[in-house]
Amino acid sequence: MKDVLRWPALLLAALIVAPAAAQSPLPGTVTLKTPHRFDTLVARVEKAVADNKMGLVAQASASRGAAARGVKIPGNAVLMVFRNDYAVRMLAASVPAGIEAPLRIYVTENPDGSTTLTYRKPSAVFAPYGSADLERMARELDPILDKIVKDAAGG
């Protein structure tokens, strides 16, 4: 009888926990809070990308788009980073993995005016494809993305 009574409680707990789990970051996600203002950090990421010999492929910002419409929301920008030699290697290893490029660095403004940098390690991004060549390339990219973020976040 006790087990029968436990099932509703377990089901309720699962329903409460499931939405929270859905919001948790994917494996390999790195988040770093910085003291920089939003526009300053975006500029620092752009510089760090160039300094680390990667390319800024594109940039998207809902906050800048909203501002153009007269709406104020906290700053956010996705900076998309890659380099053609890695793109060629990636596609040679796995055409389906092409959807993962460019790699993304997400800059978000916090209520206190600081910013947060979030990105996924390339080794985590490309892991599901099960290609040894892709894994080797991703392991080369991991320290590059780490350095870009650390350079941007640093003093």
CATH of the domain at 38: 3.30.310.70
CB 152 within 8 A of CB 38: no
Residue ranges making up the domain that contains 103: 25-153
Number of domains in the chain: 1
User: Does 17 map to a domain?
Assistant: no
Structure tokens at 82: 């890659």
Please state, in angstroms and rounded to a whole number, the distance separating the CA atoms of residues 102 and 105: 10
User: Does 14 map to a domain?
Assistant: no
**In the predicted structure, residue 4 carries a pLDDT above the cut 60:** no
Tens of pLDDT, residues 21-64: 445 579 999 999 999 999 999 999 999 999 999 999 999 999 99
β partners of residue 80? 58, 104
User: Does 18 map to a domain?
Assistant: no
CB 79 within 8 A of CB 107: yes
